Amino acid sequence: MRRDYFDFKQFSIANKNSPMPMTTDSVLMGAWCNVSQMRRVLDVGTGTGIIALMVAQRNHDCIIDAIDIDDAAVNEAQTNFVASPWGERLTAKTLDFNQAVGQYDLIVSNPPFFTSGLKSPIHSRAMARHTNALTFEQLISHSRELLSAGGRLSFITPFDSQKSVIEISVFNSMNISKMCVVAPSEGRAPVRILWELTAHLEPLVKETLVLRGADGKYTDDYSRLCRDFYLNFP
């Protein structure tokens, strides 16, 4: 059942109206992406605004534009921004990423995942879930046009999208500087990959993250990553 509200250590979010509710994927993305020395940030497909809020908490100097194609999501994100300690640095607006202009030091996204299967009968939720609303090709190619010198694109995909993302990155002359393979628990197959791409060359850093150990408890690595956000992480 979808929860209407979530409380974090420094902010809370309403989670009622966005077609895609807050997920662990979004929290992973917001906690993992590199925000060091980023001044202009673009959050693509912001939903409730959770990633933008996490970036604002981690970097006290950045200005964040959060965009979504769904008006309800934008309204909910803006409500969450205004209620946060960083509302003056956060702006949500209805915009198709393919129409976005400007220059950004960081572009971050929890993009649509699903490329096949039945779509939701609710149009807005289907658009939020399926990659025909924003393909990986569109995300990577247009990000290259928007990134500043030294800028970074960070996003999360299913593990089985690995080959596709690598091919698209090469085609668009984007360097994969960092990737983190995520498994839900010890002994289980990976389900997600966190990506960082740059337009300049950097050596690839590979990481792995397991969320729960064999005992069912959260791992130390996951706790360290998210301890500044989750209330139950010391």
Three-class SS state of 183: strand
Rounded Cα distance between 62 and 187, Å, is 39
Rounded Cα distance between 27 and 35, Å, is 14
pTM (2 decimals)? Answer: 0.91
Summarised one tens digit per residue, pLDDT across range 69-86 is: 999 999 999 999 999 999
Summarised one tens digit per residue, pLDDT across range 118-162 is: 333 333 343 434 344 689 999 999 999 999 999 999 999 999 999
Rounded Cα distance between 124 and 215, Å, is 39
85, 86, 91, 96 alpha-carbon torsion, rounded to 10°: -100
Domains located in the chain, CATH noted: 5-226 (3.40.50.150)
Rounded Cα distance between 2 and 78, Å, is 20
pLDDT at position 209, please? 98
Structure tokens that stand for 185 in this block: 């628990």
Three-class SS state of 193: strand
Angle at 232 between CA 230 and CA 234, to 5 degrees: 90
pLDDT at position 128, please? 38
Q: Map tokens 């393919």 to a residue.
A: 98
